[in-house]
Structure 1
Amino acid sequence: MTETYRIVTGVDGSASSRAALRWALWHADLAGGAITALMAWDLSPIYGWAPDDAGHRTARTLQDVVHEVAGESRVPVERVVVQGGPAKALIDAAADADLLVVGSRGHGGFTGALLGSVGQHCVQHAACPVVVVREPGGRTG
């Protein structure tokens, strides 16, 4: 019995994370692997949303992005929503994965940055290899 090649992919709805998911699907198809698409949420109480609302909205966004990007792909995609910071959630989820795939930048921070803080953290701390996928069009800021 062989274990399935497992790829964890960070999804936040950005163009960069969609490109990362697309790349992970391509690679998983070649390797005969499966994907865990992970989306994390963490809201301060000042936003006025109840945790259930944020969790449901995040799950719906993840569902929509995976459906849009994966379409009729034959690669199995597990959807995981986690409460907490995205960098820690990705590192934890990828602890026993074969590969972690993230977009080069997401929704936060400096829009001109070549690599976002979550991607940077993953590159520095992941226990498995990390692939950083640039946003389509090669935009650098």
Structure 2
Amino acid sequence: MSGLVVVGVDGSASSLAAVDAAVRQARSRGARLRVVHAFLWPALHVPLGPSPLGPPEGGLRKMADRLVAEGVERARAAVPEVEVSGEVVTGEPLTVLETQSRAAELVVVGSRGMGGFVGLLIGSTAVHLAAHGRCPVLVVRERAGGDGPVVLGVDGSAEGARAVDFAFAEARSRKAPLVALHAWTTWNAPMPGPREASTPYANPPGALAEEEGRLSSEALAGCRERYPDVTVEHEVVHGETRKALIEASRSAQLVVVGARGRGGFAGLLLGSVSQALLHHAHCPVAVVRGADARR
């Protein structure tokens, strides 16, 4: 096993679900699994050992070791054939997991950790990693996704090409159909090429829809050839992308999106569509950054 999948744990129900998803990912990839806990307390200069008035097995350091050990044990029990290791790394979670992502092919985290505020649907760690991680990031909720298709958000952008390949690989690994969903409006669609001067409309009726369908099909063409065993359903809908993908996530087992699509502003690492899905999708979400991810 040469590849590496990393999962962050903090003792929350969400992170336990992340361990379950991560070990399955490691098995399907033929990769090792590393269970990581970011140990913030040394940087805050608080006592790490057991209290003189408490049990000898107490203390923050032993609690951190226990969280990792429990994650490792859970993963090994679920999929014994995967090589699993654990590590407590000093630092705050955002920095620790971003650093871990440099050597990993996938980082898996829960949608909300122990530090989450009541009422928030997703924690800051998941959002930060989706924007800054150097590899794809899988965000898992306590409730697993359904047994439906893998849903891919397609926008035809160069930044989204890696997300397309990731989604096809996931669909093949899961033996699931792939729904390639492209939603467009007149505000986010690129204008078709110039028409003849005699054309009565700047863009004849149906021209934008036709162009959107073409761009979406071209985005999938290479992966269709590389993954001939994946059944693909291509959906092009006129409507808001966020709403369409969130609705599709109700019956999906996974939604895959690029970190930033063609409508994003230069310099932003995470677009509005991927952020909306992280907060509101009904199943796990994989966010895949483009060619700049390893820089």
Q: Using the TM superposition, give the Cα deviation of residue 139 of structure 1 relative to its aligned residue in structure 2, in angstroms.
A: 6.4
For the pair 1:81 / 2:239, whether they are aligned, the reply is no
Q: Aligned residue for 2:102?
A: none
State the structure with bigger RCO (CA 8 A, min sep 6), 1 or 2.
1
User: Counterpart amino acid of 1:58?
Assistant: E
5 Å-filtered alignment, 1:1-141, equals 5-44=148-187, 48-50=202-204, 52-73=206-227, 74-138=229-293
User: How does the TM-score come out when normalised to structure 1?
Assistant: 0.86
* Separation in structure 2 between the aligned mates of residue 70 and residue 57 of structure 1, nearest angstrom: 20
User: Counterpart amino acid of 2:212?
Assistant: T
Q: What are structure 2's unaligned runs of at least 5 residues?
A: 1-145, 192-201
Moved more, 66-75 or 122-131: 66-75
SS at match of 1:9: strand
Moved more, 77-86 or 87-96: 87-96
Q: Aligned residue for 2:32?
A: none
Contact 1:103 1:133 in 2 (8 A): yes
* Separation in structure 2 between the aligned mates of residue 30 and residue 75 of structure 1, nearest angstrom: 10
Q: Describe the shift of the 1:137–1:84 C-alpha distance in structure 2 as closer, same or farther (beyond 3 A).
A: same
Residues 76-101 of structure 1: CA distance to partner in whole angstroms, max 9, x if unpaired? 11100010111111111222111110
SS at match of 1:71: helix
Q: Describe the shift of the 1:122–1:4 C-alpha distance in structure 2 as closer, same or farther (beyond 3 A).
A: closer
Residues 13-61 of structure 1: CA distance to partner in whole angstroms, max 9, x if unpaired? 11232211100111111111111001111005xx753551111111111
Specify the structure having the higher radius of gyration (Cα): 2
* Separation in structure 1 between the aligned mates of residue 281 and residue 156 of structure 2, nearest angstrom: 22
Contact 1:16 1:136 in 2 (8 A): yes
* Separation in structure 1 between the aligned mates of residue 255 and residue 237 of structure 2, nearest angstrom: 16
Alpha-carbon RMSD across the aligned residues, in angstroms, is 2.0
Q: Using the TM superposition, give the Cα deviation of residue 111 of structure 1 relative to its aligned residue in structure 2, in angstroms.
A: 1.6
User: How does the TM-score come out when normalised to structure 2?
Assistant: 0.43
Identity percentage of aligned residues: 39
